[in-house]
Structure 1
Amino acid sequence: MSVIDIPDGSAFGPDNLPYGVFSVAGGAPRAGVRVGDTVVDLAVLLGDPVFAAPTLNPFLAQGPRRWAEVRERIRVMVGRHVPHQALHEARKVRLHLPVDIPDYVDFYASEHHAANLGRLFRPDAEPLLPNWKHLPVGYHGRAGTVVVSGTEIIRPCGQRRDAGASAPAFGPSRRLDIEAELGFVVGAGSVRGRPVTVDEFGEHVFGAVLVNDWSARDIQAWEYVPLGPHLGKSFATSVSPWVVPMAALREARIALPVQDPQPLPYLRGDLWGLDVDLTVEWNGEPVARPPYRDMYWSPAQMLAHLTVNGASVRTGDLFASGTISGAQKHQRGAFIELTWGGREPVTVKGEERTFLEDGDEVSISASAPGPDGTRIGFGRVTGRITPAASTGATAAAPDRNP
């Protein structure tokens, strides 16, 4: 038996207890929780075979009462002596995609981000489109290309129409970008035809992850009218390996910014504003610090809107916030904003950058307030860009101009 050592100031203290799926050499993936620098094997700790599954889905499907019971049991047990065989050094385990994701929806919930892109794309019009302050705008993404942190990101190919060209060309994206986001994992599903209300958010959503919704801006710009993002988004979305329970984020709950005009009745209620600070690192250098507290639409409103037409959600479904951006330049969570469409390069490790080049690595981390002045950590979501797959097209350097 052993006592788990939790370093002072650890973002993975007993008030966090994020869930993930891990494996050790020669072993199958199974569920664990992160405590300090240790991963605790839950099937061994709790003697429950549901945690020997290769995803968290069987546990999440058991619902909020079970989530609360297990969380309290873990909190008690990790404060005591724990069987040696349940403990693994975090640096020595392999982390896997924590949930099997049936569906993925991405929203566009930051007013600052939406307004910045409006100014870039429609400089002679109002930054926000008429519907933006009436509903959480979103699109249905591709669940099959959601990958766990550390997975390499292959530069996508597609059609793009370069500035001044009369016809499109095909080839690797020249304007490969990131979107720093917070994602929400559905635990308990819903019934088709019965919307999930804002106040029912906690009965269905288990926890949160970090998301990097990689974006090929040149492919996106050519394809998105009139039906929205497709190939410019569907090639990869990275998520962090640890799912922070919503129960761990209660100290982070805050009021939303004022919503004016007042949303329609189905978007009113217990809104779950969250105080989460993100940091975006480009090749190891911090370049942006997006604040989730400034988001206009809350995750509870996103879920209510997602289901208001009768659509159901299933265990493992993921919906994400869209790019998190604040009012200041250093708070912009996408490089298209940070470099203002490529017109204002940033310096990364002594080199000017606008969009991502092959070999570049992006890592996003985050933390939130916990009890008694502590911080709750989300870990990291990281990805490195590799060259485009062979298509017969010649790879191109990233575009440094809008």
Structure 2
Amino acid sequence: MKALSLGVVLLDYDYPQVFLATDQLEGIFVGMAVEETDTGPRFLCVPISRQRALYLQTERLDLRTIFSDPESAEFYWLQPVDFFSPMTAVLAQFDNCPTNLLPDAGLLFSSGQDEVVEKALQLNAPVAYASLSVPESKTATRIRSVTLAGFLGIYQNVLKNLARFESKRNRRPIGRSEEPYAVDVVGFAAGSFTVEMMAGGTTDIFGDNAALAMALTSLNRFLDGLDDESLTLEFLQSVRGHTASSLIGLLDFLSENNCPLSHSWASPTRATSSVPKTSMASIRRVLELCSTRGDIGVEDVVLTGLVESADRRRSSWRISSDTDTYSGDLHPLYDVDLSGIVIGGRYKFFCEEHVELLGTGKELTKLRLKRIQHFPIVLSDGPDKER
């Protein structure tokens, strides 16, 4: 016995004639009306895989094949009271569908799902489609290899920073050695040169990846707001530092390559999000706005550790431990002096971090010291980096 909940209706005439339903464990079933009784329609149901469910909804597998060549030798009878509450399905006493119950061959369906959702169901993982309208893609499925490589590096860096920012904000910080935001290229689609990507890290039992999903959602929110300069500035100021610089770097790439971007994503448990389409006018307007703001790619950080070097003449310093080393110079707008610093002493350095994005997607970080706090007792641990 199974308790089935109605999902996607593939054929409706007075009531759902053919539909997909799920049981308590998210197993998928196809239900097909086979007879009318005095108490209502009676359905024959059969369990199917996600792959077959995808093919059935996208006109790649007909209904007869589902029942004549089942993946499991189990059939269920279903006679629901209504379609709004769980429906009780009872195991049928046969292993093969009776010929008189089989539908005609060639009966195909389309659920109207878009390609991104279909791909997520097929791969059982989050997927993203990034369509790059480069000039060479207008006449053929073509893109310069250096352009594609540059985009992938910058795109992955954006996801990394957004995932780390959103995870930290949700009090689920990502460990240094973890990369749940990583994506792999799995194909290309027609139209503007479209790169198909899927989660490169692990997913949960439902095929989802929370960190990557947060990053993709955040990226679409940013792209969707590019036409509104105030919204864009508010978004960049909220993330600041590495995250803001990586997003500006993405816009720089699109501008330099005269390449508008549309971006969509989905996972097996989520419908596709909005599909923002950027325009070159909006991209260049935002870049011009950012060029007048010196605070977007800047973030305050605090370094605590042992001073390794302090060169007053060169205005340079280095603070380190066994695992981390940071170096930088002095902030020109603050009255800070390296005189009197004890090499090997434990200090807290209050710095301003400037992040610049290189063309490869790698980040160049500059630390500028604003204030120093000395700890008179030397301890063995540090430095710790705080934002």
Task: Confirm or deny a common fold (TM above 0.5).
Answer: no
Name the structure with the higher strand share.
2
Larger RCO, structures 1/2 (Cα 8 Å, 6+ apart):
1
Normalised-by-shorter TM-score class? under 0.3
Give the TM-score normalised by the residue count of structure 2.
0.24
Q: Which structure has the bigger radius of gyration?
A: 2
Give the TM-score normalised by the residue count of structure 1.
0.23
Name the structure with the higher helix share.
2
